[in-house]
Amino acid sequence: MVLMALRIRRFGGLILVCLLLSACASPGGSSGTLPPAPRPLSVFVVPFSNLTTTPDAGKSLTTLLSSTLLRYREFRLVAPETLPFPLPRNVSATNMSLSMRDRLKSAGIDAVLSGSAIEYTYRSELESEPVVGMNWTMTDLRSGRVLWAASLSGVGSCFFGCSRTLTSLSSDLIGKEVARFVGR
């Protein structure tokens, strides 16, 4: 009976360790797939909000996501300087007025993508591990419907030495999510 209890305790401990390790590598949740279209989706990417204590984390993630989207022929990114009007400061994919949606549609934009940096730092314990958290939403301007919602997070492991950076961890998370959305 004691031997059986020890085996159950060990097995339970093993399951707990596996669950904890898998949580560290969890990409988060996402929804949506790129709808089939005869031409590339014209997307305006709003600079990400920075909800972290790391300066320029939102700008860094915006740049990484934009550069990833540029690698896919399914997207055409619209630069802010090409808009015939200035965007309000706090505009996002989910809190846009109908008149702003109409103005963006008339400028040839199909969708708006906005998001935020939630965590972007190095966690220091024995080693410095990068920790990244972000989310974004892409809204179709014609219907007002959310095409894509993603919430990603990850921790770079230092088990075999720390070689991951915030940029490499973020790029990996973003690359996998964009590939999933596009269907690759």
- Tens-digit pLDDT profile for residues 141-159: 999 999 999 999 999 876 6
Q: Structural domain boundaries of the chain?
A: 39-182
Instruction: Identify the three-state secondary structure at position 159.
Output: coil
Q: What is the pLDDT of residue 14?
A: 36
Task: Look at the alpha carbons of 80, 102, 113, 67 in this order and tell me if their dihedral is positive or negative.
Answer: negative
- Domain 39-182 in CATH: superfamily? ABC-type transport auxiliary lipoprotein component (3.40.50.10610)
pTM of the model: 0.81
8 Å CB contact between 42 and 111 = yes
8 Å CB contact between 116 and 54 = no
Q: How many residues in total does the chain contain? A: 184
CB neighbour class for 151 (10 Å; exposed up to 12, middle 13-18, buried from 19): middle
AA letter at 28: G
Does residue 8 have a pLDDT over 60? no
Spatial separation of the C-alpha atoms in residues 116 and 109, rounded to whole Å: 21
- Tens-digit pLDDT profile for residues 125-145: 656 889 999 999 999 999 999
8 Å CB contact between 35 and 44 = no
Q: What is the pLDDT of residue 129?
A: 87
